[in-house]
Amino acid sequence: MTELDLGSTTKFLDNIFSSLAEVDIDVSTFFLDHICYRVKTGEEYETYKNILSEYGTLLSETMVSGRVISTYKLHEPITYKERHIPLLELPSPKPGKHYARGLEHVEFVIDTSFDAFMKKYPHVSFETKDLEKKINPDIRISFDGCSVKFHQQSLEDVIKFEQSQ
């Protein structure tokens, strides 16, 4: 079996959680449903798709915002402390954009409206451009080298909905 090398998920998630703590965002009750791994080229995307097929089941490969994104349900979830992250998202690079290879963002499922969530943290400058998305809108906060998105449905539920249409 080919080795799946995502880098240090523990170090990445330590950075995510310490960054959230620095801005006093409490995510302790929210489901962390997926983690995103970026690649630099279309060739790397195909290579990682092949590798990930050994570690999980492809739930979806969908065109989103001008590029293909694959989502895998891992046979063994990524474990971080008491959390188990079941999905890994692998986006191909957008044409004309440069991405570093590695872990990029995580997404939490929140149990409230976006407005209520943002009002709870008025000191945080959330990026809200993706509130306009028809399917699975989200808000984001960016940190040095990573970001956190908040949405209201798990990615797996969104994929099931899209596939039922």
pLDDT at 134: 86
Q: Tell me 130's DSSP state.
A: G
pLDDT at 153: 93
- Segments in the chain below pLDDT 50: 1-3
Q: What is the largest CA-CA distance in the chain?
A: 48
Q: What is the edge-to-edge ordering of all strands in the sheet holding 146-151? A: 56-64, 67-80, 83-91, 31-38, 102-109, 146-151, 138-143
CB 146 within 8 A of CB 105: yes
d(CA 49, CA 12): 21
CB 78 within 8 A of CB 62: no
pLDDT at 137: 94
This prediction has a pTM of 0.90
pLDDT tens by residue, 115-154: 999 999 999 999 999 999 888 899 999 998 899 999 999 9
Q: b vs e for 131-160, b when ≥16 Cβ sit within 10 Å of the residue's Cβ?
A: eeeeebbbbbbeeeebbbbbbbbbbbebbe
d(CA 84, CA 76): 9
pLDDT at 5: 64
- Residue 81 C-beta-side C-alpha neighbours within 13 Å: 7
pLDDT at 69: 94
pLDDT at 7: 67
